[in-house]
Copies of this chain bind each other. A is one copy, B any other.
Amino acid sequence: MSDETTSVNELRILVEKFVAERDWHQFHNPKNLSMSLAIEAAELMEHFQWLTLEEGAKVKLDEKRKHDAGEELADCLAYVIAIANAMEIDLSETLRAKMIRNAVKYPAP
């Protein structure tokens, strides 16, 4: 399983199954989930909090630190997906549409 061979929907199903099996839909309110995403984003920031930009760029060269930061990033992605599931938002369509709008806002040179 890797990003080349995995559809976004497969990740959605993975998260959905996890939530359903634990009967967590009762907690998966979009308000709670938006807080959860912000909390996980903050945990990711902790890995870079006191680093210079140069040091931050080198985190990926250290296997252990890359792995740890990657786990926080996965938690962020899990909540992005959980929100998409709870709100019935197609992530691929929405991202593509947003990138088109962004391209208007920030034209390429």
Each complex incorporates copies of this chain amounting to: 4
Distance in angstroms between the alpha carbons of A12 and B4 in the assembled complex:
10
Knowing A3-B12, A48-B31, A77-B80, say if A18 contacts B69 (CB, 8 Å). Answer: no
The answer to whether B2 touches A90 (Cβ under 8 A) is yes
Q: Chain A 1-30, CB within 8 Å of chain B: the 1/0 string? A: 111111111111011001001110001011
Instruction: Please report A residues at the B interface, Cβ cutoff 8 Å.
Output: 1-12, 14-15, 18, 21-23, 27, 29-32, 34-39, 41-53, 56-57, 59-60, 66, 69-71, 73-78, 80, 83-84, 86-99, 101-103, 106, 108-109
Q: With A2-B93, A92-B2 in contact, do A76 and B8 touch (Cβ < 8 Å)?
A: no
